[in-house]
Amino acid sequence: MTATAALGAGTLAYASLVERNMFTLRRFDVPVLAPDSEPLRLLHISDLHMMPGQRRKQDWVAALAAATDPDLVITTGDNLAHPAAVPAVTRALAPLLNRPGAFVFGSNDYRGPVLKNPFGYFNKNRRYVQGAELPTEDLRDALVRAGWADLNNARTVLKAGGRSIELAGVDDPHVGRDDYLPAPAAEADLHLGLTHSPEPRVLAEMAADGFTLLLAGHTHGGQVRVPGVGALVSNCGLDRRMARGLHRWPGSDAWLHVSAGLGTHPTAPIRFACRPEASLLTLIPR
């Protein structure tokens, strides 16, 4: 029993003090461009859950600009974890804000964290509890002023990497803020769909409309993964086997990339077998 307790304590210490700060950059090639196209570099960031004092995380994100040289930056929400965190988020993103970019928000960009029972994530019918209001509009204004497109229940076409890119996004489906209006994809070189929570009903509509790369976060990759098993939960309607990484969306030509994110819920600051991450997606010809 003593050995078991020591192992448990050691695992918890590793998950809370070590792995949750082991930021990593994942790289994927995604074949979604027309034949003979030049590659396009897309940096996907999600779930910062930023606290004001998290300078190490801010510095790591800021360094991604030089490390990846992206043509396009996408953030898929849950940037905030504290009412005073907007300056910390903008500090982290500052070197990337001069690149073409777009964003959608998650529930934790609107309301702050509250203490939760972690075992509650296994209950699909649990009541969603929201905390204090967060300075959502301050964050939105900072990103829009920098030139990034607000894709919360919106569509646009922008230029990046010498290509025309159509983007469609929804506000967070996890709390029912989404309002996706189905419409055929516009004339463009690339079509991207954005959502914070990768709810299958939203992803299926985007794929049916011709969006060939779908980007999401929210799952934290399961946050705690069991080697050989993977994520135990996805915290949404998505199959837990797709809780992080690159997958083909079933029954379509679309690819889905789910980021495991860079942060954790402040009341459950642990990660196990699921390092915090950003992803560089190199889009290549089909």
Spatial CA neighbour of 104 closest among 15, 22, 214: 214
* Residue 277 contacts residue 261 (beta carbons within 8 Å): yes
β-bridge partners, 109: none
Task: Indicate the pLDDT class of residue 18, thresholds 50, 70 and 90.
Answer: confident
Q: How many residues does the chain have?
A: 286
C-alpha dist (Å) from residue 2 to 11, 12, 13, 148, 241: 14, 15, 16, 54, 34
What average pLDDT does the segment 22-44 reach?
97
Report residue 61 as tokens: 């994100």
* pTM of the shown model: 0.92
DSSP per position, 118-176: GGGGG-TTPPP---SB--HHHHHHHHHHTT-EE-TTEEEEEEETTEEEEEEE-S-GGGT
pLDDT over 70 percentage in the chain: 89
Alpha-carbon distance 23 to 277, whole Å? 6
User: What's the domain range around 111?
Assistant: 2-285
What is the pLDDT confidence band of residue 120, given thresholds at 50, 70 and 90?
Answer: low
C-alpha 120/C-alpha 124 separation (Å) is 8
Query: Could you give the angle at which helices 86-93 and 55-62 cross, rounded to 10 degrees?
Result: 30
Instruction: Please provide the average confidence, as pLDDT, over all residues in the chain.
Output: 91
DSSP 213: E
How many structural domains are present in the chain?
1
Lowest mean pLDDT among 5-19, 87-101, 106-120: 5-19
pLDDT value for 127: 63
Which helix (H) or strand (E) segment holds residue 65: the answer is: helix 64-68
- Strand order of the β-sheet with 163-169 is 154-160, 163-169, 190-194, 213-216, 255-258, 245-248
pLDDT band, very low/low/confident/very high, at 5 (cuts 50, 70, 90)? very low
User: What is the CATH classification number for the domain harbouring 267?
Assistant: 3.60.21.10
What's residue 118's pLDDT?
56
User: Within a 10 A sphere around the Cβ of 195, how many other Cβ atoms?
Assistant: 30
Q: What are phi and psi of 146, to 5 degrees?
A: -75, -10
Q: Residues with Cβ < 8 Å from 171, sequence gap 6 or more?
A: 104, 105, 152, 153, 177, 178, 179, 196
The per-residue pLDDT for range 195-254, each reduced to its tens digit, is 999 999 999 999 999 999 999 999 999 988 998 889 999 999 999 999 999 999 999 999
